[in-house]
Structure 1
Amino acid sequence: MNEVFDVVVVGAGFAGITAARDLTAEGKSVVVLEGRDRIGGRTYTDDKIGRAVELGGAYVHWTQPNLWREMQRHGLELSTPVPIDRVHWLADGALHSGTEAEFDALAGPGMERFVEDAREHFPYPHDVHTTDIGEIDLETFADRMKRLDLDPAERDMLDGILSYTVAAPDQQAVSQILRWAALYFGDWRVLWESGAYWRIATGTKSLIEAIAAESSADIRLSTPVSAIANDGDGVLVTTRAGETFRAKSVIVTVPVNALNTIDFSPALSEGSQRLADEGHPMRNRKMWVRAKGEIEAFTAYAPLGANPITIAMTEYRLDGDTLIVCFCPDATAIDPDDKDAVQDALRAYVPDLEVVDTDGHDWADDEFSQGTWMMMRPGQLSSAVPDIQKPHGHVYFAGSDIAPSFVGWIEGALESGALAARNVVRDQKAAPQS
């Protein structure tokens, strides 16, 4: 027998939990079906390495309105970053070191050129339809780097900075980073600060648990969905275990790369199915390293292909040791459990660094994500994403991958989940009463 609710929410990440909270506040009966054994989606607070760290999405900022409102609402505070003493970077075949100011003086002009047309293409970045972005949406990161005609050292520095978000430069559209920059008035430095420095002191887990606690939704973990049938009366949602749920509406918040794990009937619209089939190319790795001793706090950069760890940053001090977060564009290029390999990679920047422990999560191999944060392919922002943002009958989509503005961020998940909930409430109110 079908269980009956006003709304089924598929996925218990920030988008799904926010949507559920907002819907129950409107008096809707809601069940949240989550495939994992935890809430949080692509955020994941873990303490294996000796203190709580973020294995997934982590960085927050007061310039993100939905996120900051939730933090203020729940009395959460920011964690102050460790002051960085040195920057190390691999460029033009050699290791260089300097202060942050010295690195910025060398790399900053190139980054300014990289995003200089951001506000031209995205004068109102919350709405991509205010200008024609068709042409810029086809330009790849590789295209732009070639067009800038940088000298080898400057190119390697930019390549290292951008490797935080670029795993496949010939497969990723430059439009997404231009849109991000436009959200920060074209200032790449503020963009980078908002996305790489500030964290929630008590972890992302504390925020999502606080939002969930405000909801009366029935949250069911380890309950992956296999099929969604959309008919004139509503939706029928079926789990892999054969459980069925009847609802007036469903909000699907699973990542784009995992959409094809669900059988939709009728089939998704052409643009939405293209997005599901293409997915995004971010199959990178975030890894934590505990290094012996309180070593000099540093940030390190390398161009793609020069080191499996292209960005490393000192994040915490712990019992006399140093915790370093590492970003690896290719998840298959390094195994976090191979401490010798991790140590060799980091010693390219800090020769005497000694690895004590490591931690990480393989998001690319995780069936419920099949990748990390969204970085769009050429043409997706201008065509496929606007299509999936529209209701498909009684089926609504949400998530940071398709957010109205902050694609790939926790902020994007919050804004997308809240918008989906508002749309469901509006449409259910307007529907003829049976």
Structure 2
Amino acid sequence: MPPAADQGASRRTVLRAAGLTALLGATGVTRAAAAEPAEAGGHDVIVIGAGFAGVTAARELSRGGLRPLVLEAQGRIGGRTYTAEFAGEKVELGGAWFDEGHPHAWKELLHYGQQRTVDQAPEVAFFPAEQGYRAYAPAEGFGRLAELVTPVFDGSKEYFPRPLDPFAREDLVGPLDRTTLIERIDALNLAPVDRAWVTGNLGGLSGGSARGSLTQMAQWWALSDWNYDKFSSATSSRLVHGTAAFIEAMLADADADLRLNSPVTRIEDNGSHVRVTTRRGTTYRARAAVVAVPVNVWNRITFAPGLPAEYRRLAEETVAVPSAKKIWLHLRSDQGLFYAAGAEGVPGIGDVIPTQRLGDGHLAYAFSTDPALDVTDRAQIQASLRRWAPDTEVLAVRGHDWGNDPYARGGWTYKRPGQLTGPLRAVQRPVGRLSFAGSDIALGWSGWVDGAIESGLRAAGQVLGR
């Protein structure tokens, strides 16, 4: 994506002049107009990144009496959430799901009156077989999957007794945090087909079961009350008006100034104030800053003085899945609403989840971590889907390649071995006048909007507590 000029009309002014409703488009953003002067002050805190972590921080800072400026690299707000229009429906190209078990997000949903909807259930489910794939009635297929997946997390009630505090039993979690997901799965000595079911289900979420840690998945399991039904249903409830409407409501409440198309390239902390420079060379000064961009992007920004070793290490290792892709599909198939799970490592689409019937066919979304998959190539995607349902016709696609998004450099959070008990707590602490926020470094629901909100609250509290 080529860099755009830094754009600068006050968000506060725009909101008051136009009204929030007029601003809500496919991505829930508006583009600003006038450029800022070369050195801009007048703000108490600079928030870098307008995802849920950054917007939460800006709102809390405003409530605390400070004047926040939000700098966002993209031409939209939302970060790794992204509401778009597809096949006449609102769809989410990034994070999408909410549940009553998400303590921070649920409170905000109720406060802002955001309504949820639940996807339609699949009519058939495809899982690996000795030769290719086999169709199951959903109750039978998912029932078997639950039986196979549950033992992976045996003992998690002991090592994650309070899931929102992953360090409650650090004596138990510490050794396990060095374990990859595949090492744990292989310890179960599953039959080859059973192993394919488990790695296909969990491996894609981890960005590769040899890459991801056991503890990340086990904490999600514990946060789901150690229950497969809750674990699997956590990705079935989304917002009627999209995440864009939700974050717009939060931003309006923040009464913050927003600059879109303003990627930050340099952050200087001289001990008395912070100076932030954008790609175009525009600079802003404030007493403090909140860095609310994905961990995978940290090393793309020059910090002066440089970040401590723990921060650099985490960014080099990556936290978010670096090749993550999400694709929405308008499908036509005699199979109807079909769910499909691929074997881990198979090229193309990893899994397919249907959401609703349309006048012609149905809507579904899919995930992939295959670097070779082009999210815009309808023919390539159709060929991938036909391994499950040979009659499938892909009428249209819309996807987002998060790994090749320069301002994300990865999709959903999935920590690697050693990151939970290693650098996580260190990077949650301020560095001079800088605080850090983002779902990647949340204690609880990392990888979810809830984790982003949790982290934004913490960062704002650090600034206000100085």
Normalising by the residue count of structure 2, what TM-score does the alignment of the two structures yield? 0.88
Within 5 Å, which residues of 2 pair with 1:181-330?
A: 181-194=221-234, 196-280=235-319, 281-292=321-332, 296-330=336-370
Q: 334-343 or 208-217, which moves further after superposition?
A: 334-343
The one of 117, 129, 140 equivalent to 1:102 is 140
Task: Give the % identical residues.
Answer: 35
Within 5 Å, which residues of 2 pair with 1:43-192?
A: 43-132=81-170, 133-192=173-232
The one of 2, 7, 29 equivalent to 2:67 is 29
Question: Does the aligned pair in 2 maintain the 1:91–1:303 contact within 8 Å?
Answer: no
Q: d(CA) in 2 for partners of 1:139 and 1:163?
A: 14
Aligned twin of 2:436: 397
Moved over 4 A (4+): none
- The alpha carbon displacement at 1:306 in A equals 3.0
Q: d(CA) in 2 for partners of 1:396 and 1:91?
A: 49
- The alpha carbon displacement at 1:303 in A equals 1.2
- The alpha carbon displacement at 1:316 in A equals 2.0
Secondary structure at the aligned position of 2:392 is classed as coil
Question: Does the aligned pair in 2 maintain the 1:308–1:328 contact within 8 Å?
Answer: yes
Q: d(CA) in 1 for partners of 2:202 and 2:260?
A: 36
Within 5 Å, which residues of 2 pair with 1:367-386?
A: 367-386=406-425
1:181-203 Cα deviation digits (max 9, x unpaired): 11122223312211x21110111
Q: 1:39 to 1:218 in 2, by over 3 A?
A: same
Q: d(CA) in 2 for partners of 1:360 and 1:163?
A: 21
Q: Aligned AA for 1:70?
A: E
Q: d(CA) in 2 for partners of 1:365 and 1:421?
A: 30
- The alpha carbon displacement at 1:295 in A equals 5.2
Aligned twin of 2:452: 413
Q: d(CA) in 2 for partners of 1:348 and 1:272?
A: 42
Structure 1 residue 349 corresponds to structure 2 residue 388: yes
1:366-419 Cα deviation digits (max 9, x unpaired): 100001011111111111111100111111000000012111001111111112
Q: 74-83 or 101-110, which moves further after superposition?
A: 101-110
Structure 1 residue 388 corresponds to structure 2 residue 427: yes
Q: Aligned AA for 1:303?
A: A
Q: 1:97 to 1:293 in 2, by over 3 A?
A: closer
Q: Aligned AA for 1:31?
A: L
Q: Aligned AA for 1:240?
A: R
- The alpha carbon displacement at 1:83 in A equals 2.1
Normalising by the residue count of structure 1, what TM-score does the alignment of the two structures yield? 0.94
Secondary structure at the aligned position of 2:356 is classed as strand
Q: Aligned AA for 2:388?
A: Y
Q: Aligned AA for 1:358?
A: V
Report the number of matched residues. Answer: 425
Question: Does the aligned pair in 2 maintain the 1:173–1:376 contact within 8 Å?
Answer: yes
Q: d(CA) in 1 for partners of 2:196 and 2:372?
A: 19
Structure 1 residue 20 corresponds to structure 2 residue 55: no
**Which sections of structure 2, spanning at least 5 residues, go unmatched?**
1-38
